[in-house]
Amino acid sequence: MDRIIPLEVTQPKIISFDAEGTLVTPQFSNSIWHEAIPALYARSRDISMAQAKQEVFDAYNEVGNQRKEWYDINYWFCRFRLGDPHKLLLQYEHEIEYYPEVHQVLHTLSQQYQLIVVSNSAREFLDLLMENIKQYFMRIISTISDFNSLKRAELFLEICHNMGTAPQEMIHIGDSWDFDFTIPQKAGIRAFYLDREGKIRGDNTIFHLGEVVSQLSI
Ligand SMILES: [Mg+2]
């Protein structure tokens, strides 16, 4: 049975961030998955957009967000026989936007900590999402592309090992209760759950990335 390892208070060395919904708004992702892919699908089969959305969304739901295929744009382009996703992603690149506090928070934290990204997004996606903030990060990890896996406790431990750090010396922050909060905690990593809508109250829940800076008393 899974068990939460008690956290020791240790000075962190590495701060790990999720990407989508944490650093980058869902705008780009929503346009790709909800509009651009159905539009390509409709054109390739000569059907209406409404029909295409129905079929594409049914396929998304059939896979579900607990399977790695959900996050893998190559899988979907292959499954729908849409060719190479790269061109499409570039067409929508202008829709990538960061949350307003992101540059300032990353700038501040990067003075004192090593920053990394651990994301379930595929590399093709992630590289574009991170393009204008990559200078803050030591490593940008796509769990799907680099480890063929979604975020798991064992994977967080492997990342700590690769970084030469103990789990107690890492903090992870993200907007998925499972992938970014409970799973890293199972690896002994201190985690902050980012709830931008402010619905959940609790220890280690934050509404804004700037709160990490104050919690770490920088
Ligand atoms: Mg996220």
pLDDT of 9 > 70? The answer is no
> What is the extent of the structural domain holding 116?
14-25+98-215
Q: Tokens 């790269």 appear where? A: 86
Q: Looking at the structure, do residues 102 and 153 belong to the same domain, yes or no?
A: yes
Q: Looking at the structure, do residues 19 and 40 belong to the same domain, yes or no?
A: no
Residue 197 lies in a domain: yes
Domain boundary among 69, 94, 119: 94
Helix (H) or strand (E) holding 190: strand 190-194
Q: Looking at the structure, do residues 105 and 37 belong to the same domain, yes or no?
A: no
What predicted TM-score, i.e. pTM, was given to this entire model? 0.90
Confidence at 2, pLDDT banded by 50, 70, 90: low
Question: Cα of 3 to ligand 1 centre, how many Å?
Answer: 23
Domain at 162, CATH number: 3.40.50.1000
Question: Cα of 97 to ligand 1 centre, how many Å?
Answer: 14
170-174 and 139-142 as β-strands: parallel, antiparallel, unpaired?
unpaired
Indicate the average pLDDT of the chain. Answer: 93
Question: Cα of 176 to ligand 1 centre, how many Å?
Answer: 6
Q: Looking at the structure, do residues 117 and 145 belong to the same domain, yes or no?
A: yes
pLDDT of 6 > 90? The answer is no
Domain boundary among 50, 68, 94: 94
